[in-house]
Amino acid sequence: MSLRKQTVIITGGNSGLGYESAKQIAKFDNNYVILACRNAVKAKQAVDSLIQETNNNNITSMELDLSSLESVRSFAGEFSKMDFPPLYALVCNAGVQFIDATHYTKDGFEMTFGVNHLGHFLLVNLLLDQIVPEGRIVVVSSGTHDPLKKTGMPEPAFTNPQALAHPDTVSSKEGIALIGRRRYTTSKLCNLYFTYELAERIKQHTDKKITVNAFDPGMMPGTGLAQSYTPILKFVWNYIMPVMTLFVPNVNTVRQSGRALANLVTDGKLSQTTAKYYEGKKEIKSSIFSYNNDNWKSLWSASIKMTKLEQAETLLKI
């Protein structure tokens, strides 16, 4: 990162992975850190805690609800009016998973797809022209998108974006818990499609050298991802599974994964590294599914229509 003051935005930075990465980034060189969060009260509490832990007073929060395209546009508009240092990095960290029922965004899209992909898609495009020429975008994906990883999660099912945004919940014979987990793994595959297509478009359509990389934090027991789990499953997630961090590969504490995520923002050696996928600090290949160029473009085209993105709102030719 540059010696002059710059700004980093982290979605969902009030807890878990986002909080830990924000802490490490704030400690790095006293840069400005913005926690972009849906819950303003929890975000303010996180800001106060981070300032105390890092001795960096350049930490604040702004309200952002990724399940509302209006909120995303409002956030981008408000940020452009604020007197922050230049925007250096955008960390697309926030994510949801539901195994209890089908939930929908305020715009009528299935919630997992809407928050994990669509909200971030629009946010990145709206902020792209404000990111410094050698800035960074990091998209938090997951190893669960890759069946070969044997994570215990169902294989993603990317058929077409419309089916993800507006699923036929009546005809499915799968139980809602399995459906919810599959929606999550598919959304994480979409994160990779977005990462690779965005990196390619930045190369083709702008003079900027903005890097775009994806990150797998590994399994992090104890985080808020289990919000819709049953009480028994929540107990296992919060109190039993954390023991696995001691002996199972890529099962990490939030602190371990937070440090690795922050590294993708702060490590000077990665200034020209783009369109890559990281498991912690290690660059690896993503799943064979993730390199389907046709799916990259199909998702991009559909996302433009769903978010009603106008050409004037992005640096990229859409």
Catalytic residue positions? 184
- Residue in the block written with tokens 């083709």: 204
The span from the CA of 87 to the CA of 189, in Å, is: 27
Strands (E), 255-295: 277-279, 282-284
Alpha helices by DSSP H, listed for 128-218, are 161-165, 176-205
The span from the CA of 171 to the CA of 262, in Å, is: 42
Alpha helices by DSSP H, listed for 128-253, are 161-165, 176-205, 231-235
- Residues 214, 262 contacting (CB under 8 angstroms): no
- Residues 222, 254 contacting (CB under 8 angstroms): yes
The amino acid occupying position 8 is V
The span from the CA of 82 to the CA of 38, in Å, is: 19
